[in-house]
A and B are shown apart, each in its own frame.
Chain A
Amino acid sequence: MIFEILAIGLIISAILALFLDEVVYSVAALSGIFFFTAIIYALSGSLFAAIFQFAVGVGTLAILFLSSEMLGEKQIKKASPAKTAGLIGAGVVLSLPAIFLSVSTKKNLGIDVDFGEALWNMRGFDVLLQALVILTIALGIAIVLYERRKK
């Protein structure tokens, strides 16, 4: 039952994020998407995925709130309750197929490895390269900021 409620919440948040007029409200609805997705991951046993989702979501939301403040229009229009209710209703209707229909046939992929084994033994080189790329980006940003400060 909890997964059904989370699915409905996820679809409603997605629809509100796209169809609300004000960008700040859309970003707030996007936080709902990240929250519901992370809860779904955590309840299905993928705790690492839930933690990553929270971490990435919080970062994205912080930047998006700043961007919406910078780029959005200055006066905030109030969303009409009728439109919001319509969007929520559309979200509930759209989430019904996910609750009542089923297309998944094969759940077991035949691969039985734990997270650490998959990460280090199967994708160790890849993970190190990703860390290197992220480190290079961080260094690049630090250098650019330092050069700007010098000027």
Chain B
Amino acid sequence: MDFVILALIMLAIGIYGLLTNRQLLKVFISIELIATAATLNFVMLASPHGLGEALLILAFSVDTAVSAVILALLVLVSKRYGTGDLSKIIAEMQENAEKEESEVEAQ
């Protein structure tokens, strides 16, 4: 049983999910998976020693702060565009940008 390979598989699944999922909450879950892979490496490579666990606290606090910021952005974007689908949000953003451009040209 090798935890480095396990962490690598988790990382690969997380990156795949990050690149392919269109739902904002699924993107967040992918980021959580990547963070879990990183913390798994932290603990398993230094499990007999306290240093790995002490460093893990830093990883957890960074992970929690990142999660809080991502969730806040996610709620803001969902409220503004009325959907959690990334493709719809991007399409709407492009529409808005085109409208703004045409207004500037008209002026």
Contacts and interface: CB of A to CB of B under 8 A. Distances in A.
A11 B29 contact: no
Nearest to B40: A37
A68 B17 CA distance: 17
B49 A119 contact: no
Given A3-B1, A46-B43, A71-B78, A18 B71 contact: no
Interface residues of A, number: 63
A72 B23 CA distance: 9
6 contacts: A14-B10, A48-B53, A64-B71, A103-B4, A114-B49, A134-B61
Given A108-B48, A109-B49, 14 more contacts: A10-B6, A14-B10, A18-B33, A23-B23, A30-B32, A37-B40, A49-B53, A71-B74, A71-B84, A72-B84, A102-B5, A111-B46, A118-B51, A119-B54
Closest 8 CB pairs of A and B: A115-B50, A118-B54, A98-B6, A118-B50, A18-B17, A98-B5, A114-B50, A119-B54
